Structure 1
Amino acid sequence: MTISEISRRAVLGGLGIGATAGLVGCSNDNGSSQSTPTVSPGSSDQPIEGAKELTVYCWSNGPTIDDNFKKRVALFNEQYKGRFTAKMNFLPYDQYWQKAQLQYAAGKPFDIYYWDVQAYAHYKKNLVENVQPVINTTALADTTKFPSALFDPWRFDGKNLYAVPENIQSMSLFYNKDHFDAAGLKYPDETWSWDDVVTAAGKLKKTSGSKVTQWGLDIGTLGVWWGLQSLSWAAGSSWVDKALEPTKFQMTDPATIEAMKFTQDLMWDKHIAPRPEERNALNQAGANFSSGAISMMCDGTWAISGYQQMKAKWDMTAIPLWKGKRVAPYWLGGWVIPKKTAAKTAAETFATWSATTFQPQMAKNHDWIPISNEARSSKDMLAGMPAGFASAFKDIENAKIGDIYTANMQEIFNQVFGVNLDDLYFNRKTPEQVAQKIQEMATAKL
């Protein structure tokens, strides 16, 4: 697997991408035709529609997060004893989306399942429930308690939500404090620019003969399209004209080409970050940021739980400034409820309970980052977290959604972005050539 083939969720689950083509369903008609519930889902006076037994589907995210999901379901069952019973079903990431597709095709969709961009294709086929009426009966509708403006990318019809958001993720700069201490360098903070990172990385890189024994930097998520685009945003540009149903790509914008050249130069011109073959060799040897082989790396905030196992002291801060500005990507995690779910009330209850009542416990677990403003900034959330955690989310209100929503976007991710960015990172083509190729190929598929 090469650098640019790694998706955000593949990093999370350690697995590959699943296909979304060929979904069956009726034509798209996503207007809100449902009656608005008068009581919150799960209330004792609410009639139960569908089965009381609920199967909750998610892809496997590794032992720690999977175990926390199991504990969550156990807590839900305890709190709704005698009313609902839920069970977890984990699948590998690629099998997860194939299974979802097959279940929709058979007319027996999952009861409820965890969101990723593939689910947008399900929306386009008119297969998922408009959850706005349900959300309106819960605390999720309170704009003082939740960052409601960040939910807008999931308002696919411009007004209604088609998934229930429960957590939020972003991107940060992670660094090894022991390395900085040994070099006598100041720790990175939110005032740092990419120029500061480059300077420090040059001082942190160590060699023994011709062998690099410590890399000052790994390009990390700058090697994936959704990380690289953050530099374009900071420079006032973007890869597409809009995230939801883009009408054009803007890959040949000088700001995007400059961002590509900067990242390529980190590996080839400056060589303060390992090149792809060197990176692959490090991975095969188990040498990475966690092992202490790398001093700094941009990564998603979902990496926090894994880094907690590191022997070295480490911390995190906001992504560095580029052109004097910072625009971080963010992603929402949450639940999709099919229109034909066999456990409608149970599914709505589990999703909204996870997004409201469960939020303080989510903060204690440290498996996901709560969507609730209070839970996200609570003592339980900050306890045991890196000191720089708060700075990484300081500007979250100004962040931009890190996904692009079209029914065939996964095809563009894999067949256009991945292949051509490999040419960039392997130094086979210039940034101008790569940008032009992506522009042509992506536009044709769009």
Structure 2
Amino acid sequence: MKTRKAVWLLALVAALLASTMAACSKDSNGSGGASSKGKVTLEFIRWSNGPALDAEETDKIKRFNESHPNIEVKMTLLPWDETFRKIELSLASSKPVDLFYWDVPAYAWYKKGLFKNLQPYFDKSLNMSEFDEKLFEPLKFDGENMYIAPENYQTLLFYYNKSAFDTAGIDYPNGDWTWDDVLDAARKLTVSEGGKTSQYGFDAASLGVWWSWMALSWAQGGNIIADVHEPEAVTLDTPENAAALQFLQDMIYKEKVAPDVATKDANGMNFQTGKLAMYVGGDWDLGTLKEITDFEWGVAPIPKWGDGRATPYFVGGYVMAENTKHPDEAWEFIKWAMTDNQETIAKQQSWIPVHNPSREKIEAPEWAPEGYLEARFEWLKDGRIGDIYHLKWREANDKYMTPMQDEIFINGGDVKQALAKAEKEINALLQSE
């Protein structure tokens, strides 16, 4: 009896062990529990934005990792140019990076099929009524599917020196201002004595790149391309573009209410010094400008041209590598960044959340200047993407667009001739084999 009982007990233990092993095996196949994979490590690369923003990024990764014990995101922060070299090398390797941060130069890798199509994840996991889908449309590179997961928006603001306005006895800018109002105010804010200007009314050179001066052209109904996705040609030599650039150039060379680039650089003229009463800059400038103590300042929406207004915006977000070995875990991080973490972004105020419910909870922080909420969030009604997606656009911009803008803003050259020349050169490049 004793032997028979021992055999029975051994059989029972063996059965229990087998049952436990089967349950563990079932869990490892995705039916529940942790998995036999153990903790998954995701490699993530992005560029550095300076100490304050980098600290927010590091904190974000830390909070995600703490709330997702089965996933560890390892972030590598690099200088901007080095970031894209590192990503390119990684994507060509046998163990590519899982996630990286998006910017336009990466479009070339989309064309090589190195981006994961995220649309199935969007359809399955996100409530798109909580986002402004129209602002995501430019990121549907094939016209149908999302290849970038947006995390934040950036835009342009109109900054002004309240103290300078008070001294000149001028009402502050607001959402009804037009570019004619800017010129009128700039004349009154420009301070000169003995042929030397100590304060200029406006910094026209701050609008010396296409995605910023286009705000003046878009507001007139103008454009330079029919579609941001691989345009076959640009149309620079148009009445709207000429009017926009002539207006800005005249502020420098005719009205003399804005410094030319050489004068600006030689005299250290920038908004922070109080030598420029108004300028257009990114909302990312807020972090620096909030340290100003020498004068009061405020912000307003980009001025109108007549009754029209258009405001450039840009999108920060994530790319999942097509060959990542952990797509579900990578999506878990992306989804968290687009939803759960959006309220933290709203509180930090460094970036504009893409998640509407989170953004709608934003209140002006203690340091916020006058006009903050209107300037930073009303652009959603008239935003225009400030990017062009084309394999040759960066070359076109470097070789022809930048020299055209330099001719107009630095050399004071003929606006219409500069536009016509650049249009011909860029179209020859875009249409070349």
Shorter-chain TM range is 0.7 to 0.9
| Partner residue, 1:61 | 49
Residue type of the partner of 2:330? A
Secondary structure, in 3 states, of the residue corresponding to 1:290? helix
Q: Shift of residue 209 of structure 1? A: 2.5
Deviations for 1:237-294, whole angstroms, at most 9, x for unmatched residues?
1011111121221111111111111111111111111101012224xx3x41122221
Q: Shift of residue 399 of structure 1? A: 1.5
C-alpha distance 416-48 of structure 1, shift in aligned 2 (>3 A): farther
Residue type of the partner of 1:155? K
8 Å CA contact retained: 2:290, 2:367: no
| Partner residue, 1:303 | 285
| Partner residue, 1:228 | 213
Q: Shift of residue 88 of structure 1? A: 2.2
Q: How many residues are aligned here?
A: 399
Structure 2 matches for 1:245-264, cutoff 5 A?
245-264=230-249
C-alpha distance 46-189 of structure 1, shift in aligned 2 (>3 A): farther
8 Å CA contact retained: 2:118, 2:148: yes
1:291 matched to 2:278? The reply is no
C-alpha distance 216-163 of structure 1, shift in aligned 2 (>3 A): same
1:391 matched to 2:380? The reply is no
Among 147, 166, 188, the alignment partner of 2:151 is 166
1:333 matched to 2:316? The reply is yes
Q: Shift of residue 197 of structure 1? A: 0.6
Deviations for 1:93-129, whole angstroms, at most 9, x for unmatched residues?
1111122222223344322111111121111111100
8 Å CA contact retained: 2:249, 2:412: no
8 Å CA contact retained: 2:204, 2:251: yes
C-alpha distance 45-331 of structure 1, shift in aligned 2 (>3 A): farther
The normalised TM-score by structure 2 is 0.87
Among 123, 128, 145, the alignment partner of 1:142 is 128
8 Å CA contact retained: 1:206, 1:212: yes
Q: Shift of residue 49 of structure 1? A: 8.3
| Partner residue, 1:268 | 253
> Separation in 2 of the partners of 1:44 and 1:290?
57
C-alpha distance 219-242 of structure 1, shift in aligned 2 (>3 A): same
Q: Shift of residue 431 of structure 1? A: 0.6
C-alpha distance 49-268 of structure 1, shift in aligned 2 (>3 A): farther
Q: Shift of residue 344 of structure 1? A: 2.5
Deviations for 1:66-117, whole angstroms, at most 9, x for unmatched residues?
111011111111111x211123211111111122222223344322111111
Deviations for 1:176-228, whole angstroms, at most 9, x for unmatched residues?
11111122210000100011011111111122433322121112541111001
Q: Shift of residue 45 of structure 1? A: 6.5
8 Å CA contact retained: 1:218, 1:294: yes
C-alpha distance 352-210 of structure 1, shift in aligned 2 (>3 A): same
Among 400, 416, 419, the alignment partner of 2:384 is 400
> Separation in 2 of the partners of 1:125 and 1:50?
32
1:429 matched to 2:416? The reply is no
> Separation in 1 of the partners of 2:271 and 2:214?
23
Higher mean alpha-carbon deviation, 356-365 vs 245-254, is at: 245-254
1:104 matched to 2:91? The reply is yes
8 Å CA contact retained: 1:50, 1:342: no
Q: Specify every segment of 5 or more residues in structure 1 that has no aligned partner in the other structure, as ranges.
A: 1-41
C-alpha distance 43-192 of structure 1, shift in aligned 2 (>3 A): farther
| Partner residue, 1:365 | 348
C-alpha distance 148-67 of structure 1, shift in aligned 2 (>3 A): same
1:216 matched to 2:201? The reply is yes
Q: Shift of residue 315 of structure 1? A: 1.4
8 Å CA contact retained: 2:237, 2:416: yes
C-alpha distance 388-46 of structure 1, shift in aligned 2 (>3 A): farther
C-alpha distance 109-416 of structure 1, shift in aligned 2 (>3 A): farther
Q: Shift of residue 346 of structure 1? A: 2.9
| Partner residue, 2:424 | 440
Q: Specify every segment of 5 or more residues in structure 2 that has no aligned partner in the other structure, as ranges.
A: 1-29
Residue type of the partner of 1:61? N
C-alpha distance 48-343 of structure 1, shift in aligned 2 (>3 A): farther
1:206 matched to 2:191? The reply is yes
| Partner residue, 1:196 | 181
C-alpha distance 385-103 of structure 1, shift in aligned 2 (>3 A): same
| Partner residue, 2:306 | 323
Residue type of the partner of 1:294? L
| Partner residue, 2:164 | 179
Residue type of the partner of 1:357? D
8 Å CA contact retained: 2:161, 2:298: yes
8 Å CA contact retained: 1:412, 1:442: yes
Secondary structure, in 3 states, of the residue corresponding to 1:297? strand
| Partner residue, 1:94 | 81
C-alpha distance 48-208 of structure 1, shift in aligned 2 (>3 A): farther
Q: Shift of residue 363 of structure 1? A: 0.9
> Separation in 2 of the partners of 1:257 and 1:272?
20
Residue type of the partner of 1:371? V
Between Structure 1 and Structure 2, the one with more helix by share is 2
Q: Shift of residue 381 of structure 1? A: 5.8
8 Å CA contact retained: 1:267, 1:275: yes
C-alpha distance 220-431 of structure 1, shift in aligned 2 (>3 A): closer
> Separation in 1 of the partners of 2:347 and 2:408?
41
8 Å CA contact retained: 1:50, 1:344: no
> Separation in 2 of the partners of 1:253 and 1:43?
61
> Separation in 1 of the partners of 2:218 and 2:238?
11
Q: Shift of residue 43 of structure 1? A: 12
> Separation in 1 of the partners of 2:180 and 2:341?
41
Residue type of the partner of 1:292? G
Secondary structure, in 3 states, of the residue corresponding to 1:168? strand
8 Å CA contact retained: 1:305, 1:366: no
> Separation in 2 of the partners of 1:166 and 1:77?
18
C-alpha distance 344-182 of structure 1, shift in aligned 2 (>3 A): same
